[in-house]
Amino acid sequence: MERIIVELLHAKGLIPESRRIFNQESIALGRAYSNDLILDDLYVSPNHIIISQENGCLQLQDLASENGVKVNDNPSIQDQTISIESGDIVSIGKTRLRIVLSSHPIEPTRVLNKSINKYKSLDHPWAPVLSYLIFTGLLLWFEYMKNPGEIFWEKKIIGIATGSAIMGLIFSGLFSVYTHYKYKKSFFSKNIIIANLGFAALFIQDQFSPFISFWILDEDWVKILDLMTGFVFMLAILWMCMRLVKDSMGWHDTAQLAWIPLVIVVIIASRSDEFKLEFQNKPVYDKVLALGMKPLFEPLSLDEFLEAGALEFSRLPDK
């Protein structure tokens, strides 16, 4: 006879909150004190289900409960007896249980090596401060290069220093709350380090974007390239923060994170004024007076330009 193990799962995942081991052929579950496992759930009947095992096979019997029982993603059943497999998830009321036998296979033991301890250097108290100084220093340097002089030191430096700190704290705080709620783990200081360094890399890429994309003659493609690059950088920041919580990250886990930077990119893309090539004069083309004219990307001689401009004026509607 094998032992029956009942794992009480977290409401938002497959992480066990508690585990009970029964060395008997059958166990009763419900709210009544006469059960082998008492469940504190008002949506569970006093005598809800019985789980039994014989020759390594599990049976689940619903005792005509009020709300029935659900196994995995199958429809709920009431007043029936069905066969279940070791490892199946049983939902009764708002309680989720995983039923396994003692012979249920487990994951292979992982080898403890240096790759697991590579994040220990981030535990030093100076690491978040250093990452903040790197990020803020880059912001201050590039902003000073644009507006050198006393005005920068009087009006800009405090706003940039506080803004960069608030950005890292908000991101780290929100992500730490999310991981604590879902995985019961959070790494606030490490998230700050990853966020600051990631934002610094994204800012550097944004500053050098005109030099990287100068060979693209279509302004729309430049905007698309900027959006794609921003999406990749933000997804990489989230991926590294989540990697601290989870031992491994597959494609499915990465796809679950992708919606966050995707929403941000869509919001930014809807504000087209935010995406113009970073030339000093930031050219803006009037869409009424010069439809389709792009002298920066389609240079014309003076005569051709004046002729094209006159043609555009002739197309204007009469008011």
Q: Give 261-266 contacts, CB < 8 A, sequence gap 24+.
A: 261/230, 261/231, 261/234, 261/235, 262/231, 264/230, 264/234, 265/227, 265/230, 265/231, 265/234
Judge whether 307 lies within some domain: yes
What's the confidence (pLDDT) of residue 111?
65
Predicted model pTM = 0.45
Which residues of the chain, if any, have pLDDT below 50? 115-116, 274-297
pLDDT, tens digit (0-9, with 9 covering 90-100), for 10-54? 877 777 888 999 999 999 999 999 999 999 999 999 999 999 998
Whole-angstrom distance, CA of residue 293 vs CA of residue 151: 38
Q: What is the SS3 assignment for 103?
A: coil
What's the confidence (pLDDT) of residue 299?
53
What's the confidence (pLDDT) of residue 314?
67
Judge whether 113 lies within some domain: no
What's the confidence (pLDDT) of residue 288?
40
- Helix 126-146 to helix 157-183 angle (10° resolution) is 140
Domain match, 234 and 317 both: no
Domain match, 142 and 88 both: no
Domain match, 90 and 134 both: no
* Total structural domains within the chain: 3
Token pair 């199958």 is found at 74
What's the confidence (pLDDT) of residue 297?
45
Domain match, 147 and 187 both: yes
Judge whether 144 lies within some domain: yes
Domain match, 50 and 156 both: no
Give the domain CATH number at 13: 2.60.200.20
Domain match, 129 and 188 both: yes
Domain match, 160 and 231 both: yes
What's the confidence (pLDDT) of residue 283?
46
Contacts of 268 (CB under 8 A, 6+ apart): 227, 230, 274, 275
Domain match, 163 and 37 both: no
Residue 299 belongs to what domain range?
A: 285-319
Domain match, 38 and 93 both: yes
Judge whether 219 lies within some domain: yes
Q: What DSSP state is assigned to residue 25?
A: S
Judge whether 108 lies within some domain: no
pLDDT, tens digit (0-9, with 9 covering 90-100), for 184-218? 777 888 888 888 888 888 888 877 777 766 666 66
